[in-house]
Amino acid sequence: MIGTFINGARRFAKEEDGNSVLPFALWAPLLMLLVASGLELGFATARFTMLEHAMDKTVRDLRLGTGTIYDRDSIKGKICDYAGVLPECESNLELEMVKLDIRDWGGVPTSIHCADMTVDQTASGSGGTSEDEVKPVVQFEYGRENELMLLLACYKYEPLFPTTGLGERFVKDEAGYSRMVAEAAFVHEPI
């Protein structure tokens, strides 16, 4: 299979009779599809890597915070500051933090509710939820020292090429946003 492709490419490169337009026209869409999928994968990987990195640094700050109590907005701000490549991070990021019982693993959440995005909001350019819209109930317990905590972050983003190649395969909501979820567990250090 690869040998056939290489031989065809060699023949294409050696042709000098001016009839190379047809092979180019046949191969160009495939090449563009591969380039679009590669760009989509690269941007998705960069976003996810930066979200994970930001979660790690934020959890380190939470764990080692000397008596500082953070709320949802300040944790979200820290994550968005550490992850510089997440567009509209403050409005497209949803956090959930729950206390885990180390003796009963039945309470571990298996999914997170992402921020609701409606078609009206995406058309107006603002991400996140509006004031009159109902937000999903998510838990956010800060916890006390020596408690095991799980922090979940869900970031919604628009794929670069939502109808082509890899971007078409992403699971999207009704507004066309894909999501990525990062999680981190930590124990509050005693003060």
Domain assignment of residue 110, yes or no = yes
Q: Count of domains in the chain?
A: 1
Domain assignment of residue 11, yes or no = no
Domain assignment of residue 71, yes or no = yes
Domain assignment of residue 97, yes or no = yes
Domain assignment of residue 10, yes or no = no
Instruction: Answer whether residue 133 shows pLDDT above 60.
Output: no
DSSP string, 165-191: HHHHHS---TTS-EEEEEEEEEEPPP-
The residues near 88 (Cβ < 8 Å, ≥ 6 apart) are 127, 128
Domain assignment of residue 9, yes or no = no
The count of C-alpha atoms lying within 13 angstroms of the C-alpha of 134, restricted to the half-sphere facing its C-beta, is 2
The residues near 36 (Cβ < 8 Å, ≥ 6 apart) are 160, 161, 164, 165, 166, 167
Tallying the residues shown for the chain, one arrives at 191
Does residue 98 or residue 1 have the better pLDDT? 98
Region 79-104 average pLDDT: 86
Region 40-44 average pLDDT: 92
Range of the domain at 39: 19-187
155 band by pLDDT with thresholds 50, 70 and 90: very high
How is residue 165 written in tokens? 């190649």
> pLDDT digits over 163-183, tens only?
888 888 888 888 888 999 998
How is residue 105 written in tokens? 């693993």
Domain assignment of residue 179, yes or no = yes
Query: Can you give the pLDDT at residue 115?
Result: 62
CB 102 within 8 A of CB 89: no
**Which one of 29-38, 68-77, 118-127 scores highest in mean pLDDT?**
29-38
Burial of 149 (0-12, 13-18, 19+ CB in 10 A): buried
Domain assignment of residue 123, yes or no = yes
What are the residue ranges of helices labelled H in 65-118? 72-82, 89-92
Compute φ and ψ for 149, nearest 5 degrees: -120, 150
